[in-house]
Structure 1
Amino acid sequence: MAKLSGKLSLLMPAYNEETIIYANALEAARQISPLADDYELLVIDDGSSDRTKAEIERAAAENPKIRCISYQPNQGKGGALREGTAHATGDYIAFCDADLDLAPEQLADFIDRMQRENADVVIGSKMHPESKVDYPAIRRVYSWGYYILLLILFRLNVRDTQTGLKLFKAEVLKPVMRQILVKRFAFDIEVLAIINARGYKITSAPIEVVFHRASFGRIGYQDIRNMFVDTLAIFYRLHILHYYDKADTLERS
């Protein structure tokens, strides 16, 4: 099994997950412990109104590799991951969802692909031919349409940007996360578009999804509209305003 030389930081956003976060945090930590020389699990309480924070702290009391980051108000998944990245101390940073529908142990294959292909980023893809997931036909249509849009706008040859399991080299991710503006609908697009524009290598890996709660939720018109608007805004900032280049220059000066 491939293993990272250095420290792995796994970021797990959580919002009102009091019923599952204690057990899932301990399980996620167990699964990633063999994957690197050292590791930490950062569970980000994204402005929860229930006992999520207390349950994370209970898990952290049992495993000192688990850390709780908590704040108010709710910022959305992108905001939570940005906050987690700022606190991460690893040489590599991974994202996973709190429900563990995508088991973090699958990162072993991500690590292998990162090393074999000399990639800077490895993202899980439900559209990968080797993936094991019951993906609704309408979702496949949306994914293909969005893939074509991203290819046209950003030359981003990634068929699935929304899967929660991702692995980054920290030196690549951290500067980008300090500059992102989208915190909700198109957060993943903003991160990957900037990384791609800076010439880093992104590759995809197959994943297996095991649902522990409900299956895929419905995509409404408002969700599609918000994603489309956010995506166009990212294109405008990246290629018209050159906002990210200017922000990077200011950060380095």
Structure 2
Amino acid sequence: MNLSIIIPLLNEQESLPELHDWLVSVMNKNKFSYEILFIDDGSTDDSWHIIQNLSQTNPSVKGIRFLRNYGKSQALHAGFAKAQGDVIITMDADLQDSPDEIPELYRLIMEDNYDLISGWKKKRYDSVVAKNIPSKLFNWAARKTSGVQLHDFNCGLKAYKNTVIKNIEVSGEMHRYIPVLAKNAGFSKIGEKVVIHQARKYGATKFGMERFINGFLDLITIWFLSKFGKRPMHLFGALGVIMFLIGFISAGSIGVMKLWKLYHNEPTILVTNNPWFFIALTTMIIGTQLFLAGFLGEIILRTKNNEERYKISEEF
């Protein structure tokens, strides 16, 4: 199979028939063998019934329905697990991503041998204050933190080799940082293509301002996991040892000074009346806690089981 097209959605009943017909037209024109995977992330409108009707007329349409809204990352995770195509395309269901981009994305993966191609919505039709400016800040921070030089990490239109999506773990709200996850997994040939961004035709955006805060937190998480996710003791243990040594040396210095003054019959104060004693003690306690955090992290890493992050209500 040439293509798997994964489309996460939430309450997009108006756009689904039009998107399906557009995709089928592009697939037939380019003689692709394909599957369209609609991932219904807990829609409360008629989206799931429309997907069921589309599957009755087109056997290439498949669907997964969540019991409730779990988020785009979980929807992509479910789609990645089910996808069978040589090339996987992800796109949004709101008709802002153009299916006409798919043939070139496919060519870049199959002929130019890219592992991942990310779309770049160079000209956007979103609100400047609500989306454009925050997106630019996100993309700048992601480039500086990850080293992946993309202009638009958050673009939903992306193309992947099958081996890429089978070897990355998408969770939380990390869907916008899939290129970073791919790089951390060892897939280095990551490219970018300018794509058409269309104005929303139906409904309103499902994302609020909280996604920007969550995005920054997820970026920090990815940075930490890429460097210390497999060896937490290297960070917490090292910091703990350093803090403990600083406290121990400080406490030792206080003790030495106390003995020196006693030996020379100089007036002294109780050790507990010296503020530096409590600073040294606190530093040693923090150092011990950091070391234990690293130790516990190592134990959890070796004993954890993959938890179920979402519940599927129906699937076909």
TM-score range, shorter chain: 0.7 to 0.9
Structure 2: gaps (5+ residues): 232-300, 307-316
3-state secondary structure, aligned to 1:175 = coil
TM-score computed with the length of structure 2 as normaliser: 0.66
Deviations 1:107-155 (A, max 9, x none): 122223335543111111013xxxx544655444433332332222211
Match of 1:70 among 46, 65, 73: 65
Amino acid paired to 1:235: W
1:195 has 2:190 as partner: no
3-state secondary structure, aligned to 2:59 = coil
Match of 2:170 among 174, 180, 183: 180
Amino acid paired to 2:76: L
In 1: Cα distance, 2:207 partner to 2:15 partner: 23
Q: How does 1:140-155 map to 2 (within 5 A)?
A: 140-155=132-147
3-state secondary structure, aligned to 1:119 = coil
Q: Does the 8 Å CA contact 1:26/1:63 hold for their aligned counterparts?
A: no
Could you tell me how far 1:41 is from its partner in structure 2? 0.6
Deviations 1:4-51 (A, max 9, x none): xx4200011121222332332233233233446411111111112222
1:207 has 2:195 as partner: yes
Match of 2:106 among 96, 107, 111: 111
3-state secondary structure, aligned to 1:210 = coil
Change (3 A) 1:126 1:217: farther
Which has more radius of gyration?
A: 2
Q: Does the 8 Å CA contact 1:7/1:36 hold for their aligned counterparts?
A: no
Change (3 A) 1:213 1:20: closer
1:123 has 2:113 as partner: no
Could you tell me how far 1:78 is from its partner in structure 2? 1.2
Q: How does 1:214-253 map to 2 (within 5 A)?
A: 220=209, 222-242=210-230
1:60 has 2:48 as partner: no
Q: Does the 8 Å CA contact 1:56/1:68 hold for their aligned counterparts?
A: yes
Aligned residue pairs total 232
Report which of the two has the higher share of helix: 2
Could you tell me how far 1:172 is from its partner in structure 2? 1.3
Match of 1:93 among 88, 98, 123: 88
Structure 1 equivalent of residue 41 of structure 2: 46
Change (3 A) 1:112 1:219: same
Report which of the two has the higher share of strand: 1
Q: Does the 8 Å CA contact 1:16/1:50 hold for their aligned counterparts?
A: yes
Structure 2 equivalent of residue 3 of structure 1: none
Q: Does the 8 Å CA contact 1:22/1:58 hold for their aligned counterparts?
A: no
Change (3 A) 1:36 1:228: farther
C-alpha RMSD over aligned residues = 2.7
Amino acid paired to 2:141: L
In 2: Cα distance, 1:74 partner to 1:238 partner: 28
Structure 2 equivalent of residue 168 of structure 1: 160
Could you tell me how far 1:95 is from its partner in structure 2? 0.5
Structure 1: gaps (5+ residues): 1-5
In 1: Cα distance, 2:42 partner to 2:207 partner: 24
TM-score computed with the length of structure 1 as normaliser: 0.80
1:8 has 2:23 as partner: no
